[in-house]
Chains A and B, each alone.
Chain A
Amino acid sequence: MYHKEKSIQIKNSASALYNNLSVLRIAPRSITYFTVVHANTVSIISASWDGLNYSHRQLQSKEPNVATSTSLIMQAAWCILRSRELLVLTSQKGIQMYEADGSIMVYWHALEAPETPTAQAVFARGIAAVKENYVCVGLSSGGILVFDIPSKGDNIILCEMLEEHKESVTDMASECSGSQECIADMVSADDSGTLCVWKSGEESQLLNKITGFDMGCSSVKLWKGTVVAGYGTGQIRLYEAVTGILHAEVNAHARWIYSLDIAPFSGLLLSAAEDSFVRVWHLALTPESNSMEISHMYNECVTDTQICGAKFCDGDGYAFAVTGYDLGEIIRYTQT
């Protein structure tokens, strides 16, 4: 179904962090951006579609205070908003927002950190763009910060803090089908596997809380009103977002799942885990039962690589990209 393409070399290998690959496709310029986190640096690679031009840029986690030790980055992701794209970095020290190409930092939000380190780590993790002008970021405390992003400029405003999670937020996602009918437009997951389903906006509203089973949910997606969640057990679960009804459970991987992605136009689901496998699934809504069904389409083994990031490169799932711990490259696969 897919074949391996020429891979993209990255200057620094990928760290073992959840969802450690982000992809941004810029059609007018026929290029695709990739970003991968390595300890305290982020590699941004722009690749032209003809495969001839690659350019690299490195971003460091900014330190408000140089006397402290270097801060590690937890995640980097592009947020597509109504009239702009932002690159959002979350670290132990705070949240940085850059213009899409990483050239200019437009916003910095520092996390409150205690003077001496406490047993509870402090960091931000989980990034989602919602409703055209909001960026939501999860925190180790379980809180979620909602930022209002203007159509241009740096007048970014922190408009609210949602406090429902009891454990560190792991990942967040917004409804990706583009459907206006879905009431729920955002989902967040945490270390205990709890999922919160939100109607976001000026004043976000918690629609449903799906309790976990004491196993972290590391990656979550929302598509056509269905929550797709990947867990440390290697399982994928499909829940109806608003009701919390479990539609399907798949023992998809032998090890901890690190990344999920959905191609919204085709309903393809990508899952990747520490077991070195990346798998492609197909999601389909059956009208009779109004439930979501999942079927296995394809799998690929990236030999001896604990995969930490996997993303589709387009909305149809025609191509996907993968990277793993200690790996100095991004491997691409394209449909045959």
Chain B
Amino acid sequence: MSSRTLPLLFINLGGEMLYILDQRLRAQNIPPDKAKKVMNDIITTMFNKKFLEELFKPQELYSKKALRTVFDRLAHASIMRLNQASMDKLYDLMTMAFKYQVLLCPRPRDLLLVSFNHMDAIKDFVKEAPTILGQVDETYQQLIEIYTPLSSGEFQLIRQTLLIFFQDMHIRVSIFLKDKVQNSNGRFVLPTTGIFSCNGEEVSRVQFPSGGNYSSALRQGSLEMFGDRVIKLGTNMYSVSRPVETHMSGASKNSGQNSKMTTPNPLAKEELNMLARLMGGLEVQKAGNTDNGFRVNLFATDEEEEEALMSRPDELSYRVLNIQATKDQQSDAALARIMGEFSEQGDPAPDTNSSKGDDLLAMMDMM
């Protein structure tokens, strides 16, 4: 449907990922300098210029699997490692959080405010790193340019496209269950009281019996680079004292339909296109290669993590396709372009005689 959906999907899921990682890094008492490096590295990768150029081109959404692969790579763009169960949980949390935001935003245009809440938070994460901040600001500008002129109908089409992407996902998230915004069957609670979706003067109020209780609309949030977004959807809901948790077992009856969307199809390889290749090229730091590497766990203990991996229902498995980017001729070209991009950013150009893989690794080390 809408060919303008992918950038918003990526930025908002990325924003949710950063909230969760930030919370876990603090909860596991990772030294601040290492934690900072992880956040900075991931944000740098997320807002890589070439990558975003690809992202902002009008296109259909990628398959769930392709997108999951992208986020696998993104989460591992630094010295932090997540094992399979933690990565699954991270992705579940990200997707359910953004699904909630898409579903609950009163007006389709509010999707932009949700995105800006994420962008504002990302800027705050890198406020001490001017180079990265510049990268993020550039994307901010792009979002404003592309999305503010769109009509309400076009935003509704984007929203409907996102809702199809998230359809039949009913993973229960403890933070939502505790806040009573999600039911035990995995469906989100829709309030029948609250605010109207549109601005306008209330002429006279006629109450329909049990027809809900609504008050007049909120004012429109700021669509500028700085400003009050008014709505809270898309802001950080995690803190150290509010851990991240999901309940996989007993996910609603519809969860089985997930598998249909994730079963391999003959075009899967085709779908893992430029986007995934670009991202694939960016995963260069192997945990073993560096003394600084560490592992983050999204569960309370390692035992719990292991158990989650074993007990994860099959239909929720993403069966991530590993892309061997460096073995792919075509992506070599893509890698070369990214490398060019990195050297333009003012980092000293690495020795061009060594192999491409090493170059990129060296460059990432220097960042």
**Which residues from chain A sit less than 8 Å from chain B, CB to CB?**
12-13, 15-17, 38-39, 67, 69, 72, 74, 92, 116-121, 123, 167-168, 170, 190-192, 214-216, 218, 232-235, 251, 254-256, 275-277, 279, 296, 299, 301, 303-306, 325-326, 328
The 10 sampled A-B contact pairs (Cβ below 8 Å) are: A13-B168, A119-B3, A216-B156, A251-B196, A254-B196, A256-B197, A277-B192, A299-B208, A326-B168, A328-B254
B211 at the interface (CB under 8 A from A): yes
Chain A residues with Cβ below 8 Å from B167 are 13, 15, 38-39, 325-326
Q: Is B194's CB under 8 angstroms from A326's CB?
A: no
Please report the C-alpha to C-alpha distance between residue A119 and residue B170 in the assembled complex, in whole angstroms: 31
Question: Given the interface contacts A15-B163, A69-B267, A192-B151, does A305 sit within 8 Å of B208 by beta carbon?
Answer: no
Q: Quick one: which of B1, B160, B200, B211 contacts A279, CB cutoff 8 A?
A: B211
Which residues B173-199 have CB closer than 8 A to chain A? 183, 187-190, 192, 194-198
B313 at the interface (CB under 8 A from A): no
Q: Is B103's CB under 8 angstroms from A299's CB?
A: no
Question: Given the interface contacts A301-B210, A326-B167, does A234 sit within 8 Å of B198 by beta carbon?
Answer: yes
Q: Give the top 10 A-B pairs by smallest Cβ distance, nearest first.
A: A191-B153, A233-B198, A216-B153, A16-B163, A117-B3, A254-B214, A117-B58, A119-B58, A255-B197, A304-B190
Report the minimal beta-carbon distance from A272 to chain B, rounded to whole angstroms.
Answer: 13
Chain B residues with Cβ below 8 Å from A279 are 208, 211
Q: Is A277's CB under 8 angstroms from B211's CB?
A: yes
**Chain A residue with the shortest CB-CB distance to B151:** A191
Q: Is B151's CB under 8 angstroms from A216's CB?
A: yes
Report the minimal beta-carbon distance from A56 to chain B, rounded to whole angstroms.
Answer: 15
Q: Is A299's CB under 8 angstroms from B59's CB?
A: no
Q: Quick one: which of A67, A74, A216, A325 contacts B163, CB cutoff 8 A?
A: A325
Report the minimal beta-carbon distance from B349 to chain A, rounded to whole angstroms.
Answer: 33
The tally of CB-CB contacts under 8 A between chains A and B is 133
Chain B residues with Cβ below 8 Å from A123 are 1
**Chain B residue with the shortest CB-CB distance to A123:** B1
Please report the C-alpha to C-alpha distance between residue A254 and residue B170 in the assembled complex, in whole angstroms: 25
Please report the C-alpha to C-alpha distance between residue A218 and residue B234 in the assembled complex, in whole angstroms: 27
Chain B residues with Cβ below 8 Å from A303 are 190
**Chain A residue with the shortest CB-CB distance to B199:** A233
Q: Is B163's CB under 8 angstroms from A233's CB?
A: no
B332 at the interface (CB under 8 A from A): no
Please report the C-alpha to C-alpha distance between residue A12 and residue B258 in the assembled complex, in whole angstroms: 11
Please report the C-alpha to C-alpha distance between residue A263 and residue B200 in the assembled complex, in whole angstroms: 31
Report the minimal beta-carbon distance from B51 to chain A, rounded to whole angstroms.
Answer: 18
Chain A residues with Cβ below 8 Å from B164 are 15-16, 39, 72
Q: Is A13's CB under 8 angstroms from B257's CB?
A: yes
Q: Is A167's CB under 8 angstroms from B1's CB?
A: no
Please report the C-alpha to C-alpha distance between residue A13 and residue B170 in the assembled complex, in whole angstroms: 12
Q: Is B168's CB under 8 angstroms from A232's CB?
A: no
Chain A residues with Cβ below 8 Å from B288 are none
Report the minimal beta-carbon distance from B43 to chain A, rounded to whole angstroms.
Answer: 27
Report the minimal beta-carbon distance from B17 to chain A, rounded to whole angstroms.
Answer: 23
Q: Is B197's CB under 8 angstroms from A233's CB?
A: yes
Q: Is A301's CB under 8 angstroms from B3's CB?
A: no
Please report the C-alpha to C-alpha distance between residue A214 and residue B156 in the assembled complex, in whole angstroms: 13
Please report the C-alpha to C-alpha distance between residue A304 and residue B163 in the assembled complex, in whole angstroms: 15
Question: Given the interface contacts A92-B1, A256-B108, A306-B103, does A118 sit within 8 Å of B152 by beta carbon?
Answer: no
Report the minimal beta-carbon distance from B15 to chain A, rounded to whole angstroms.
Answer: 22
**Chain B residue with the shortest CB-CB distance to A253:** B197
Report the minimal beta-carbon distance from A75 to chain B, rounded to whole angstroms.
Answer: 12
Please report the C-alpha to C-alpha distance between residue A325 and residue B60 in the assembled complex, in whole angstroms: 21
Which residues B187-229 have CB closer than 8 A to chain A? 187-190, 192, 194-198, 200, 202, 206, 208-212, 214
Q: Quick one: which of B4, B106, B159, B189 contacts A304, CB cutoff 8 A?
A: B189
